[in-house]
């Protein structure tokens, strides 16, 4: 009898990630399977919850709404800042990503969305915030986690 996915199981899986319109965002085909420790918060909740009770060989399609993935877009995380904030950067263009200091003092990724003269619009939302995610998943392996993996919160 094969092990079922639940807390403290190490799961290996292949996946294809698309948006609601079917545009492919990511695909693990041709690469090593994604390996994670179930129940340790290493996957978005909507996908992790859909995998509970599955076993090696399972194939499933899962639609995950934004609230169970990367959340909705938070308008307060989109700001216009002065160009001088980017000291030492000669050319700033939409799509460029930078590390900024978040309100909590930690590092926060921001993406430039617009440049208008000396004003730059940045967005600190996750790139997939507000997006309904569609996963096609194949479970490759499920095994019990070691005590060390459980202590560390990830597989080795």
- The count of domains in the chain is 2
- Give domain status of residue 118, yes or no: yes
**In the predicted structure, residue 100 carries a pLDDT above the cut 90:** no
**In percent, how much of the chain has pLDDT > 90?**
88
Co-location of 103 and 37 in the same domain? no
Closest CA to 38 of 28, 46, 49: 49
pLDDT at 87: 85
Co-location of 86 and 108 in the same domain? yes
Instruction: Compute CA distances 48 → 21, 64, 103, 152, 155, whole Å.
Output: 22, 10, 29, 19, 15
Co-location of 53 and 100 in the same domain? no
**In the predicted structure, residue 88 carries a pLDDT above the cut 80:** yes
Domain region containing 19: 9-70+128-152
Co-location of 48 and 101 in the same domain? no
Beta bridge partners of 139: 13
Count the neighbouring beta carbons within 10 Å of the beta carbon of residue 74: 13
**In the predicted structure, residue 122 carries a pLDDT above the cut 90:** yes
Instruction: Kindly give, in sequence order, each residue whose CB lies less than 8 Å from that of residue 11, ignoring residues fewer than 6 positions away.
Output: 5, 35, 36, 37, 38, 51, 139, 141, 142
**In the predicted structure, residue 14 carries a pLDDT above the cut 70:** yes
Please report, for the domain that includes residue 113, its CATH number: 2.40.10.330
d(CA 1, CA 21): 38
Give the pLDDT mean for 114-128.
95
Co-location of 19 and 92 in the same domain? no
pLDDT in tens, 37-81: 999 999 999 999 999 999 999 999 999 999 999 999 999 999 999
pTM value is 0.84
């Amino acid at each position: 009898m094969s092990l079922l996915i639940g807390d403290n199981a190490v799961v290996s899986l292949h996946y294809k990630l698309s948006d609601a319109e079917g545009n492919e965002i990511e695909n693990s085909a041709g690469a090593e399977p994604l390996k994670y420790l179930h129940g340790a918060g290493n996957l978005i909740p909507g996908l992790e919850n859909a995998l509970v009770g599955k076993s090696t060989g399972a194939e499933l399609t899962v639609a995950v709404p934004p609230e169970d993935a990367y959340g909705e877009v938070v308008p307060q995380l989109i700001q216009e800042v002065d160009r001088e904030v980017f000291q030492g950067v000669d050319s700033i263009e939409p799509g460029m990503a930078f590390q900024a200091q978040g309100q909590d003092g930690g590092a926060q990724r921001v993406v430039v969305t617009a440049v208008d003269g000396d004003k730059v619009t940045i967005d600190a939302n996750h790139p997939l915030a507000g997006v309904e995610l569609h996963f096609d998943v194949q479970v490759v392996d499920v095994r019990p986690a070691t005590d060390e993996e459980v202590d560390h919160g990830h597989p080795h």
